[in-house]
Structure 1
Amino acid sequence: MKISILAFTANGVALSLKIKEMLDAQGNHTACYQPEKLIVAVNTAGMAEPIAPDLKVFTGRQFAEKDALIFVGACGIAVRAIASFVQDKTKDPAVLCIDEKGRFVIPLLSGHIGGANMLADRISEALNAIPVITTATDINRLFSVDEWAAFHNAWISDLKAAKEISARLLAEKPVGFYSELDIEGEMPRLLEKNENNMGIGICVSLNDRLKPYPITLNIVPRTVYLGIGCRRGTPLQRIEDLVLEQLSRNSISFQAIAGIASIDLKTKEQGLLDFAAKNNLPLHFFSSDELLSVPGKYTESEFVSSITGVGNVCERAALMVSAGGGLISRKVSGNGVTIALAQKEWRVSFEY
């Protein structure tokens, strides 16, 4: 996660630096921010950056760029700072507030989808503080479908249905659970596996059109990777058309796509860059040597090999970016574009 920590007092500064060290050790990218006068007063130049030009403008910029904002100070400061920028739970970053003594850690915004509750738990454990969690499913120790999906990098089809499921669980009523992917470990209380006679349930599948319940909340794991090759100058639309065609043919939701990969000769291929940018998908490039190192049998093209040094770019690229995954659709060609699909291994697990 990209995290910003804002502190406003000397005690808050000391605590913010301690939290940063802990969060960075867990693999996060954390930055500390303080009023410029405070940086001078407590001599934290080089360890913190200034809150400038003012708190409201600064917060707006951080709100758009970061995954989480942590305010070390009074809740009122945090609430006033973020008030103008709050949109909805699918877009807002996690926002937490911690008192300068480190006694209480309070998730204020995006407790589930944004991960504020889990972040609060981790920080509280490190500080020996009390996490002040107020979301109903958490305080009642019930399954939270939106938090679970967000943690496992899965897409949620319908927040209204998610809310209905949470309300049903809070009323101590069972909810159906259907999965096309393997389930490991114990099911959470009140989730009933493969009970299709219920009026409402959760469906975990790469296909968001699968509706086993009258009210179905589709959870789509982002586990599918596109390997793409194309002729020079291929426009975005041709790439998109073949991608959509292959996803439909394989009953895979576009929301299941986790990333795209190609050969490094395509780093300036505008159509490919535009397709990735339009859909906010990470784009990875590999050298011919890296692609040749991927074991397996492929449909090789002598022509492609003479240009790129690799006889099959799309299948090898899809497998490489999926980090040990398997092909679910081999090379398909059309209009100067080649596409293959690989899926990273993923199981339904309720341990997180």
Structure 2
Amino acid sequence: MNHLKIVSFTEVGRRLGEQLARALSDVRAERYARGADESLRGTSLARFAQQAMFDCDGVVFIGAAGIAVRTVAPYLRGKAEDPAVLVMDEAGGFVIPLLSGHLGGGNELAKRIAAAVGAIPVLTTATDVRGVFAADSWAKTQGLRVADPAQIQFVSAALLRGAAVGLQSDIVVLGAPPAGVVLDGKAETGIWITAKTGPAPFVHTLRLLPRVIIAGMGCRRGKTQATLEAALQNACAAAGIDPRALAAVASVDRKADEPGLITLAASRGVPFLTFSAETLRAVPGIFSSSGFARETVGVDNVCERAAVAAGGKLICRKTVWDGVTVALAERPMEVSF
């Protein structure tokens, strides 16, 4: 959790908010003491909530739970999009995650706040109450993305009723799986850790996406983000890869200032890596060759070599889409229980 807003309404709440901000020193914790800061008295709480719900990882209300619920209700988007929303009483006795306890990290934040101020964390999610493995919380800690949040309920329900949940993974899984989870088990409900699309191995499959795909890209000058995105989608479709598993975009350093590539990477929340032509020429392997590329940027292939230079193993050779070349490589990754 990187960006948090702490809202209070009284002087007592303001002091508790200050204590929280000090305790969460590694988090950008902004305090909005509405009852104590004169500059905030005339501002709209609704406007504040709208901005916070879209821009922050979490919001902590110090005050009545009803105020928190009514304030954020108009801006709820869904399980996978909402930030963590917590409420605390002014005495600092209890801290309750109201939204995004698992995917948004609300439960872990509640535990951390409770430890810092001596409060009691009140967790209401069934898996936490029963001490059952929460697949979505675990996925977040491992850097895995939930492909379809609607499938979480099937995994949780199976574990809560004592049924086995299968696990298949295309990446290395370290450690013993938790109770109820069976590696490569034959089960109706299961977890599939993969960057691939295609038929799911279970009737109810919670697909978790590892960020392992490097998109090596080359393009003519001035290609728009929309065109580059279409080229990326085309390459992913050809390779049977979910583009949400993207870990980085890579190219030659001559493209380091290419606006379309920069904004494409930013829009997907991944780094844009560039390499010199000399570095790309030195990448070992057999690659497609283009005389035009050699003449214009000094290396016979940009997309395939860049994808490998960024730490991946080539899984999709050069594809061409409207003046854009794309190749995909997969880098190693492991998760652990």
Same fold? TM cut 0.5 = yes
Query: Corresponding residue for 1:76?
Result: 66
Q: 1:318 to 1:18 in 2, by over 3 A?
A: farther
1:135-189 deviation per Cα after TM superposition (whole angstroms, max 9, x unaligned): 0011111111222223333232333432122112111121111222211111111
Instruction: Tell me how far 1:221 sits from its aligned partner.
Output: 1.7
Query: Corresponding residue for 2:136?
Result: 146
Instruction: Tell me how far 1:228 sits from its aligned partner.
Output: 1.7
Q: Given residue 153 of structure 1, which amino acid in structure 2 is its aligned partner?
A: G
Q: 1:288 to 1:247 in 2, by over 3 A?
A: closer
Q: Given residue 8 of structure 1, which amino acid in structure 2 is its aligned partner?
A: F
Q: 1:124 to 1:208 in 2, by over 3 A?
A: farther
Query: Corresponding residue for 2:233?
Result: 244
Query: Corresponding residue for 1:19?
Result: 20
Q: 1:180 to 1:309 in 2, by over 3 A?
A: same
- Aligned counterparts of 1:155 and 1:345: Cα–Cα separation in 2: 16
1:63 is aligned to 2:53: yes
Greater Cα offset, 176-185 or 306-315: 306-315
Greater Cα offset, 261-270 or 241-250: 261-270
Instruction: Tell me how far 1:333 sits from its aligned partner.
Output: 4.9
Q: Given residue 178 of structure 1, which amino acid in structure 2 is its aligned partner?
A: Q
Question: Is the contact made by 1:288 and 1:308 (CA closer than 8 Å) also made in structure 2?
Answer: no
Q: Given residue 192 of structure 2, which amino acid in structure 1 is its aligned partner?
A: C
Question: Structure 1 regions of 5+ residues with no counterpart?
Answer: 41-48
Question: Is the contact made by 2:215 and 2:250 (CA closer than 8 Å) also made in structure 1?
Answer: yes
Query: Corresponding residue for 1:34?
Result: 33
Greater Cα offset, 150-159 or 160-169: 150-159
Identity of counterpart residues, as a percentage? 35
Which residue, 262, 268, 272 being the options, matches 1:281? 268
The residue correspondences of 1:128-143 to structure 2 (distance < 5 A) are: 128-143=118-133
Query: Corresponding residue for 1:225?
Result: 214
1:116 is aligned to 2:77: no
- Aligned counterparts of 1:272 and 1:287: Cα–Cα separation in 2: 11
Q: 1:106 to 1:309 in 2, by over 3 A?
A: farther
Greater Cα offset, 68-77 or 301-310: 301-310
Query: Corresponding residue for 1:46?
Result: none
Q: Given residue 200 of structure 2, which amino acid in structure 1 is its aligned partner?
A: K
Instruction: Tell me how far 1:274 sits from its aligned partner.
Output: 6.0
Q: Given residue 282 of structure 1, which amino acid in structure 2 is its aligned partner?
A: G
1:8-63 deviation per Cα after TM superposition (whole angstroms, max 9, x unaligned): 222322222232233232xx32212222x6136xxxxxxxx847622111111111
Instruction: Tell me how far 1:288 sits from its aligned partner.
Output: 5.1
1:95 is aligned to 2:95: no
Question: Is the contact made by 1:327 and 1:340 (CA closer than 8 Å) also made in structure 2?
Answer: no
Q: Secondary structure of the residue that 1:202 maps to in structure 2? A: strand
Q: Secondary structure of the residue that 2:268 maps to in structure 1? A: coil
Which residue, 147, 165, 176 being the options, matches 2:166? 176
Instruction: Tell me how far 1:106 sits from its aligned partner.
Output: 0.8
Greater Cα offset, 230-239 or 93-102: 230-239
Greater Cα offset, 5-14 or 179-188: 5-14
1:326 is aligned to 2:312: yes
Q: Secondary structure of the residue that 2:21 maps to in structure 1? A: helix
Aligned-CA RMSD value = 3.2
- Aligned counterparts of 2:42 and 2:182: Cα–Cα separation in 1: 52
Query: Corresponding residue for 2:145?
Result: 155
Q: 1:180 to 1:30 in 2, by over 3 A?
A: same
Which residue, 231, 234, 246 being the options, matches 2:223? 234
Greater Cα offset, 290-299 or 211-220: 290-299
Q: 1:331 to 1:209 in 2, by over 3 A?
A: closer
Query: Corresponding residue for 1:6?
Result: 7
1:181-234 deviation per Cα after TM superposition (whole angstroms, max 9, x unaligned): 2111111111111112x2222211111324222232222223323232211133
Greater Cα offset, 162-171 or 281-290: 281-290
1:233-264 deviation per Cα after TM superposition (whole angstroms, max 9, x unaligned): 33456534542343234332122123424456
Instruction: Tell me how far 1:293 sits from its aligned partner.
Output: 9.4
Q: Given residue 330 of structure 2, which amino acid in structure 1 is its aligned partner?
A: Q
Q: Secondary structure of the residue that 2:37 maps to in structure 1? A: helix
- Aligned counterparts of 2:255 and 2:167: Cα–Cα separation in 1: 42
Q: 1:51 to 1:69 in 2, by over 3 A?
A: farther
Q: Given residue 34 of structure 1, which amino acid in structure 2 is its aligned partner?
A: A
Q: Given residue 315 of structure 2, which amino acid in structure 1 is its aligned partner?
A: S
Question: Is the contact made by 2:61 and 2:87 (CA closer than 8 Å) also made in structure 1?
Answer: yes
Number of residue-to-residue matches in the alignment: 333
Query: Corresponding residue for 1:203?
Result: 192
Q: Given residue 349 of structure 1, which amino acid in structure 2 is its aligned partner?
A: S
- Aligned counterparts of 1:229 and 1:219: Cα–Cα separation in 2: 29
1:56-75 deviation per Cα after TM superposition (whole angstroms, max 9, x unaligned): 11111111111111112222
